[in-house]
Amino acid sequence: MTEWQSAVSISCAKAANTPILAYPRVSWDATAADAGPGLLRPAGGLYPASLLEPPDQGSLQLSWQDGAAALVVSRLRAIGRDVSLLNAGRLMTYLRQEPDPWNLDLDAMAEKMARGEFRVYDIDSLTCRDVRIRPGVGTWFLEGPFSPALTAEDEVIALQGVSLGSHGLFSTDGRFFKLQVGAYETVLLPVQ
């Protein structure tokens, strides 16, 4: 846990493609039980590909755009794959071209990379659909860093291109819902 924009020292192995992920806190209150990581998408980078140019005392530049690539590489490392031979710079370049790399099927990419079958043509978008929900009056946003904040003045908001599956819906006043988007229905559940 660190404060916003604070420097953090991390030891990295000399092997290439060490993923670094930084998860934002959910709660406005650092002592709250829901202050743990994982509900919002992480910023990220890879050592040494994300080193600042020119290298500034070994400082890494983490970004929301590179968080998706770092997450894929961290999943590969978690299952024991040697990621030092992965062309991480090329992967990051492809994912940076996407308006929202978190709408890509990162799980399928990691699975194909783990099997040694991944090609750039395997970068596919998740299945998405538009949804209308009634979370209440307020300003709302999804867990992804590229999803816009939407204001619900009449309690209804329309979300465009939401991927199927489970999402977090957050209000700027601290309310939180779990959003389950299916092929034909959407379920909105308040979280206490």
Torsion, Cα of 188, 171, 148, 74 (10° steps): -80
User: Is residue 113 located within the same domain as residue 134?
Assistant: no
* Separation in Å, CA 119 to CA 30, 116, 165, 170: 42, 9, 25, 35
Q: Which residues of 85-107 are buried (b: 16+ CB within 10 A; e: fewer)?
A: ebebeebbeebeeeebbbbbbbe
**In this structure, is residue 10 part of a structural domain?**
no
My answer on whether 114 and 154 are in the same domain is no
SS3 130: strand
Tell me the per-residue pLDDT of 128-161, one tens digit each, with 9 for 90 and over. Answer: 999 999 999 999 999 999 988 999 878 889 999 9
Does a structural domain hold residue 57? yes
pLDDT at 3: 72
User: Does residue 11 belong to any structural domain of this protein?
Assistant: no
Residue 84 and residue 16 in contact, taking contact as beta carbons nearer than 8 Å: yes
**Are 94 and 133 members of one domain?**
no
Number of domains in the chain: 2
Q: Are residues 113 and 64 in the same domain?
A: yes
At residue 133, the pLDDT reads: 94
Whether 164 and 126 have beta carbons less than 8 Å apart is answered as yes
pLDDT tens for the chain, 192 residues long, are: 777 667 778 877 777 899 999 988 765 454 444 444 557 899 999 988 888 776 556 788 889 999 999 999 999 999 999 898 889 889 999 999 999 999 999 999 999 999 999 988 889 999 999 999 999 999 999 999 998 899 987 888 999 999 999 999 999 888 899 999 999 999 999 987
Does residue 174 share a domain with residue 112? no
Q: What are the residues whose beta carbons fall under 8 Å from the beta carbon of 175, sequence distance 6 or more?
A: 135, 136, 138, 190
Residue 104: domain span: 18-122
Domain presence at residue 9: no
